[in-house]
Structure 1
Amino acid sequence: MKRFAPLAAVLLLLVASPAVRAEDAQPFVTNKDIDLTMILPPPPANDSAETKAELGEVLTLQVTRTPEMEKRAIADAKEDVWRFADVMGPKFNKETLPKFSAFFDRVVATEGAVVDPAKDIWKRPRPHQLSDLVKPVVKLSNSGSWPSGHATVGTMMGIILSNMVPEKRAEIMARAAEYAHNRVVGGIHYPSDIEMGKISGSVIAAVLLSRPDFKAEYEVARSELRSDLGM
């Protein structure tokens, strides 16, 4: 009589294994593949006229931002693709899109793997680190400010998502721009950090879209998304 118990046990373990956590997602590329210090200019000096002018912009927003603007800036502090739900519609949710979700977890991980090493080299202080007058409404961060990681990942997500759903390209990219700008609204970044983040996100997205390994997972995620949205 054949014994199937070992095989059954293996299958049970596979079924019972927990899903890969977002924080454990592997990046598609790292700073070894894309060195932002070879692409972006260095940040302006702390005592430069540009930095002083930008501090003025942050402080102006601080006294003119509305409670609704603050609320959206706080919500947008989260780095995930589900912040695009307000333009994608009610069917756009993590529960019904597991492959799509896992794919974008890797996109988010890629941003950190490329941007964080560059931040560590440039070490531009955040606005609140240069002026006690700046009172961020989002969680404080003492990592380098140049370029903005949120602007980078927001741009990456916007480009990739709008390629999956070109019917909503204008709305998606407008949302990506708001997502990035909300780091200035929140008081945690300078406007030029955001511009550098947009450049970084565009460069990283272009590299990813040319890679066979990325394109294979992209097609699976795109298919699942469009099917779920009825497209």
Structure 2
Amino acid sequence: MKTVYSFLLLVLLPAVVTAQKGIHRELTPIRGHYKQLLQFSPKARSLQEPMDKEKFITDQETVKQRMNLTPQYLTGVKVDDFKLPDAPVNSSEQTRAEINYLLALQKYRTKEDIRASLYMADVYYSHRVQPGDSSYARYRRNLFHIGRSIGSWFNPESLPVTADFMAKVWRDASYFIWSLKFKYARIRPYVIDHDLKNLQDTDWAAYPSGHAANSYINAYIYQELAPEFTDVFVKDAYDMAHSREILGVHYPSDSEASRIFARQFVNMLFQNKAFLQDFEKVKQEWAAKAKEDFRK
């Protein structure tokens, strides 16, 4: 009996330790045009390039407003705890190559590409919205944009606990995304090359992409709830990131930095006790409601 008990400890202990420590996943390898662009140097062509001094200037009132909504889970985390590559310098070969790629997208983007990308530009969440506001339902639905095809039950009405939970996650994410934007202050690609016609007006820094970051965050969290749909979640996030490039408002390296940030951010969440407690409640909701009701 003692031998059997010892064997069970050896088998089960790793699972127990994993549960205590939470989930930590590695970032999947970079691919496609994101990988190909890494062959170009991200460094300045010379020390005398005037464009390298250009930064996006955010007024202090905006900074104060964005930083006012502090994290609810990652309260002890600082922005420098996230390890992102530096944004390619404005005069660098990589920036030029990225803009050339965006110009190619501009040349070949179709009316449907534009329509879908502009639709996705409105997929975000406002932390200041309140129940009863005319936009409240729309913002809540936006929390379920990533993975929207996995079931008719995948919505804030069927999964209210999940909606509240993801809203809290977005609050944490927004704090750090804005912190990174203020830190890097990267100008938009159309500021460098006026041949690039952006299809959306933006009044904040480029690096990293907030749309892409929040989408990958949702994908990585929903992945843990429905791993059989991982490909769907990640594809939806990839499409969101690419839509920002189609519109000409983000460099590909903005998208890739967002993917890197999202993986680190979600890994940190899964080491957080308060997050894990709320995540268990979400899992219980999914166990009860994440299925079709064919009796209606």
Shifted more, 193-202 versus 125-134: the winner is: 125-134
Q: Which residue of 2 aligns with 1:20?
A: none
Does 2:127 match 1:66? Answer: no
Partner of 1:3: none
Aligned 8 A contact 2:87 2:184 in 1: yes
1:54 paired with 2:54, answer no
Q: Distance in 2 between matches of 1:97 and 1:220?
A: 11
Match of 1:189 in 2: 250
Confirm or deny: 8 A CA contact 2:270 2:276 kept in the other structure: yes
Question: Does the 8 A contact of 2:212 with 2:240 survive in 1?
Answer: yes
Q: Verify the 8 A CA contact 1:87 1:175 in the aligned structure 2.
A: no
Which residue number corresponds to residue 164 of structure 2? 102
Matched residue, 1:29:
74
Of the three residues 233, 237, 245, the one matched with 1:176 is 237
**What secondary structure does 1:95 align onto?**
coil
**Contact (CA 8 Å) 1:126, 1:142: kept in 2 or not?**
no
Assess if the C-alpha contact under 8 Å between 1:162 and 1:168 holds in 2: yes
Is the radius of gyration larger for structure 1 or structure 2?
Answer: 2
Alignment partner of 1:84 is 2:146:
yes
Q: Number of residue pairs matched?
A: 207
Q: Aligned to 1:53, what secondary structure does the other structure show? A: helix
- Within 2, Cα distance between the matches of 1:26 and 1:88? 29
Gap change, CA 1:25 and 1:221, over 3 Å in 2: farther
Larger relative helix fraction: 1
Provide the rounded CA distance (Å) in 2 between the counterparts of 1:90 and 1:25.
33
- State the secondary structure of the residue aligned to 1:188: coil
Secondary structure of the corresponding residue to residue 43 of structure 1: coil
Whether 1:153 aligns to 2:214 is yes
Question: What amino acid sits opposite 2:74 in the alignment?
Answer: V
The residue type equivalent to 2:224 in the other structure is: N
Query: In the alignment, is residue 42 of structure 1 matched against residue 86 of structure 2?
Result: yes
Q: Which moved more, 1:177-186 or 1:221-230?
A: 221-230
Instruction: Say which is worse superposed, 150-159 or 33-42, in terms of deviation.
Output: 33-42
Match of 2:12 in 1: none
* Alignment check: 8 A CA contact 1:84 1:175 kept: yes
The CA distance in 2 between the partners of 1:226 and 1:172, in whole Å, is 19
- Superposed displacement of residue 191, structure 1: 0.4
SS class of match (1:82): coil
Determine if contact 2:221/2:266 at 8 Å carries over to the other structure: yes
C-alpha distance in 2 between matches for 1:147 and 1:36: 14
Does the CA contact (< 8 Å) of 2:146 and 2:233 recur in 1? yes
Return closer, same or farther for 1:102/1:137 CA change in 2, 3 Å cut-off: same
Query: TM-score, length-normalised on structure 1?
Result: 0.81
Work out whether 1:130 is the aligned partner of 2:192: yes
* The one of 212, 217, 223 aligned to 1:162: 223
Deviation at 1:85, TM superposition (A): 4.6
Give 3-state SS (helix, strand or coil) of 1:87's partner. Answer: coil
Question: Which residue identity is paired with 2:190?
Answer: H
Cα deviation per residue 1:105-148 (whole Å; 9 max; x = unaligned)?
A: 1111122111211211211101122222222233x223121111
Note the residue ranges of structure 1 that are not aligned, 5 or more in a row: 1-23
TM-fit CA distance, 1:187? 1.3
Distance 2:246 2:106 in 1: 7
Deviation at 1:86, TM superposition (A): 3.4
1:17 match = none
Q: Deviations over 1:163-201 (max 9, x none)?
A: 111121121112121122211112110001111110000
**Matched residues in 2 for 1:56 and 1:36: separation?**
31
Q: Distance in 2 between matches of 1:205 and 1:66?
A: 34
Distance 1:37 1:149, change over 3 A: farther
Percent identity for Structure 1 against Structure 2: 26
